[in-house]
Amino acid sequence: MDHLSSSQINLFLLCGLKYRYQYVEKRPKPFRPSALAFGGALHSTISWLHKQEMEGRKVPPDLVLRIFDADWYSQKTDMEIRYKENEHELGMIILAKQMLQLFLEEPRKPVKGTEVPFTVPLINPRTKENLGITLEGFFDVIEADDTIVEYKTSATTISQSDVDNHLQLTAYGYVFEQLFRKPAKGFRIVNFVKNKKPKIVTTETSRTGANYEAFFFLVKEVLKAIKVGTFHPRPGYWCKDCEYRDVCPLWKTSIVRQKTEPEGALANGG
């Protein structure tokens, strides 16, 4: 193993067994959860908008909505999208377009990079211990004043404490300091909340050297567990969106499944 990404670390911490299925056994995914397709298409559209604006182009709102149509289409061309109960494609498209309209109405700060790739060595910022692998990933957005911004879609509003402890933001701050030899100006999560009446909630936070040292410690322990092949399953509400649930021994018996499946599906083995 020569690298880890922040999404790999997140996935390992969410459920070790899912990490094993995805990254060790490289099992193909039989479907794409609707929430992932929704977030992916919204991200692509906003990233496209930022790129246009960085090049000085003024983009009419209806063009942004048409770009979303193309991004949504690309989400479903290579894989079936699996919807939750009471969800359907048209409803999700309308919701996303309402969110984009809200986003376009809000003032936007100048951006200097979007979907910026990075690769940095994993080094303890204080002791300089080197894990011998790299951390790879992408910054969602870096604003002109060096604020790191992450877009997130969710069913409920992400709380201040979740933003304060958000691992991806910590990883981005850690990488930013390594790359630019200065701290990021600030951190912000722009949360697209999928209410019936959608809303955008912006929450700011900060990071210090202690956060980066804790992040390094966490990554070191994750790496140790991966190297010795320890992949604990961790069932929870996220199982209902898990692409591997049909092969996961826990899903079949999990109390989570009983809470998320319609009556009858369990009896029919569906």
Q: Which residues make up the interface to ligand SF4 (CB under 6 A)?
A: 15, 17-18, 233-235, 238-239, 242, 244-245, 248, 250-251
Residue 248 carries which DSSP code? -
Rounded to whole angstroms, the Cα distance separating 68 from 59 reads 13
Smaller CB distance to ligand SF4: residue 18 or 188?
A: 18
Smaller CB distance to ligand SF4: residue 220 or 234?
A: 234
Smaller CB distance to ligand SF4: residue 83 or 238?
A: 238
Strand, coil or helix: what is 224? Answer: helix
In the bound complex, what is the minimum distance in angstroms from residue 250's beta carbon to ligand SF4?
4
Largest Cα separation within the chain, whole Å, is 58
Of 96, 178, 165, whose CA–CA distance to 135 is shortest?
178
For residue 232, the Cα-to-chain-centroid distance in whole angstroms is 21
In the bound complex, what is the minimum distance in angstroms from residue 83's beta carbon to ligand SF4?
18
Rounded to whole angstroms, the Cα distance separating 47 from 113 reads 9
Measured in degrees and rounded to the nearest 5, phi and psi for residue 189 equal -105, 125
Smaller CB distance to ligand SF4: residue 125 or 233?
A: 233
Smaller CB distance to ligand SF4: residue 81 or 135?
A: 81
In the bound complex, what is the minimum distance in angstroms from residue 232's beta carbon to ligand SF4?
9
Rounded to whole angstroms, the Cα distance separating 201 from 96 reads 15
In the bound complex, what is the minimum distance in angstroms from residue 72's beta carbon to ligand SF4?
25
Encoded tokens for 121: 């060595």
In the bound complex, what is the minimum distance in angstroms from residue 52's beta carbon to ligand SF4?
37
Strand, coil or helix: what is 202? Answer: strand
